[in-house]
A and B are shown apart, each in its own frame.
Chain A
């Protein structure tokens, strides 16, 4: 199967960058935020970097490797000279004069524009390694769709809530494969402002001291307070020690399944859901 080049969605953000759901934005925006977070400076010019890649392949790759990660010659992605360079100013002297003591010939015939292009290529390679917020996912669809369908209809008891012709029709065209994988494992709503109307939000039934009950979508619960949006869209809140709270979590079955899947089950189910284009 060919490599999927979908951007890594939310997961890398969760590793280190404290940006909340709903602020994800496009993959370019994520990469840009990653650059800011990492203090990487401006992104390389992609056109110059592509020219630089061709120059690199012709002149440099034999010693430094096709990806500049080193071969006979040193790794240039982790090079202090490259990491300190901004527009070719520290790279140029090395390229133009070479390093005869270390066996590197000079490339004096390269123009300053060409050295700039080479530098942009190397900066792009640095970003591809350093900026985890722009990493490309590889193929995640590796399972057996028939086995996934069998799990869906059998051990997973998924048909109690879902049907491939109903709510899951065309589900594979709504999500990138890694997002679909995360969504079926534990669905999440990424837009907090939509929470009021969100089918994933737990329903709450509140028993008041008077014996009356109130119900609605959970807004917030902690050890001391509970609040809801009721059927009319009104906000209501109570101290926990004055009411009885019953929560109906639509995701309870998904949570229970998390402890039951093998990795093979997970891959098979994704392969099955990917057939629902």
Chain B
């Protein structure tokens, strides 16, 4: 056979080996986990059931992959916070500055991409996005990078944020048709937030939606002056969700700036700490719901807005649910943003109640004070970025939450404060897993973890009638999602630090979880015996 012929025969095969079929993004994740949340809904529910409540005695460690990078600048120990993608038998996952491809069946490293940053915060990295053969990754210092999934080689890079202004970039890009949606982080220097769509082939800007209005635009009346509005924060640092039927992109925005010092930005500060619905083709705002009007506690509202199709008071509706960092569970009609449920799932004495739109009303006496305000919620809030899950078989929304007490301090009492301007100090904190009835916001069951510390584990539910998550003591645990009963556990070298994910490959279901610097893969033992 001539060399020419070999090339012709091999090329399409090689191309197909890495290629992500766009249709995979529109169906529940089974043999493919093609995006941060597995699919556009954000449910993190898998229809796989090979691993199920009846065979957990056979669930065992199959392989491990340790990153071996050493301490990260300003952070210390590595924590894998990304949810790996799984496409055609290859896992793609990240930590700040690093991307890996490993064999999803064996954990063998295929390639490693090492970005040398010139600034930015290394607080986290949520993963990559994928379009065809191409991966999309954000370096911490504002660089948007495209890699060839085949070998990890760099195709191009474009700068999307200025790290000298204290922007940093940690999110997993979200691919919607031929748009790559990326957001930014950064709340140390009072910069404005924005969300962008970029061209998957070139990285060129398609649209930018600013999290603050311009002077004279609707929403500007929620700021006291243009200066406060132009430095108002509202970062977009977590991947959103998407409804292909409505063609609406749902995104959570971060806290306003200055973070703890609100005296220079009186008003509700739109569109910070909000859930917004945007047209992904134009970036135009369709509706918004503000979870924390005039936030002064660093409670970004970026927690996954999960899309639920189901009953609400006897009527089938298209809904969106979020367990917000401010301690409230929200249920909205996602066609128009109408509030259906607002209910605290933990202490929320920072709010005096709910207004007619379902938005909490902040209590000024619980805003940060120079001598401290005592709050009945942890300083980091009731939850944080770690992925929640919705199980359509139990109709319950699951979140790793905390209850606790904290102090909120104001350190900058100037008329025009800058930066954080204060801080929070946690006192006592209790980690707990909560199962919330989405129709009422009531907590159906709650499991308090006996160990100390805040639990940063994400959640996966499956048709195997299982809920997988971690505890603060380093256990990976399988719960009965209906009752909260503990069914199985495995002690890891560090607490679970990402959202567990699952995929079906070569006749076997794998469960993959990141804990500290290591990725762990589990499968059924008898399947392993059968394969030999």
Contact = CB atoms under 8 A, between A and B. Distances in A.
Contact of A266 (B117, B365, B372, B472): B372
Interface in B226-261: 227, 231
B372 A140 contact: yes
A263 interface: yes
A10 B168 CA distance: 24
Contacts, number: 175
Contact of B188 (A69, A80, A132, A140): A132
Contact of B76 (A19, A182, A261): A19
Interface residues of B, number: 65
A42 interface: no
Contact of B376 (A18, A33, A259): A259
Interface in A32-57: 33-34, 36-39
B451 A221 contact: yes
B444 to A, nearest CB: 19
A176 to B, nearest CB: 13
Given A69-B418, A132-B419, A266-B374, A182 B427 contact: yes
Contacts of A142: 370-371
A132 B231 contact: no
27 contacts: A11-B426, A15-B380, A15-B424, A18-B76, A18-B79, A37-B75, A39-B117, A39-B119, A39-B168, A69-B418, A77-B418, A78-B231, A83-B166, A128-B419, A135-B412, A137-B411, A142-B371, A182-B427, A185-B407, A186-B405, A221-B451, A222-B473, A222-B474, A223-B486, A263-B365, A266-B372, A267-B372
A208 interface: no
A117 to B, nearest CB: 21
Given A14-B425, A138-B410, A222-B475, 7 more contacts: A11-B407, A19-B76, A37-B73, A78-B231, A137-B411, A222-B474, A223-B486
A142 B369 CA distance: 11
A97 interface: no
Interface string B112-149: 00000101111100000000000000000100000000
A212 to B, nearest CB: 23
Interface in B427-485: 427-428, 449-451, 471-475, 477
A221 B450 contact: yes
Interface residues on A, range: 35 or more
B413 interface: yes
A243 interface: no
Interface string A177-210: 0100110011000000000000000000000000
A113 interface: no
A223 B166 contact: no
A130 B189 contact: yes
Nearest to A138: B370
B73 to A, nearest CB: 6
Contact of B411 (A16, A138, A223): A138
Given A132-B420, A137-B409, A18 B75 contact: yes
B489 interface: yes
B173 interface: no
Interface in B369-413: 369-374, 376, 379-380, 405, 407, 409-413
B266 interface: no
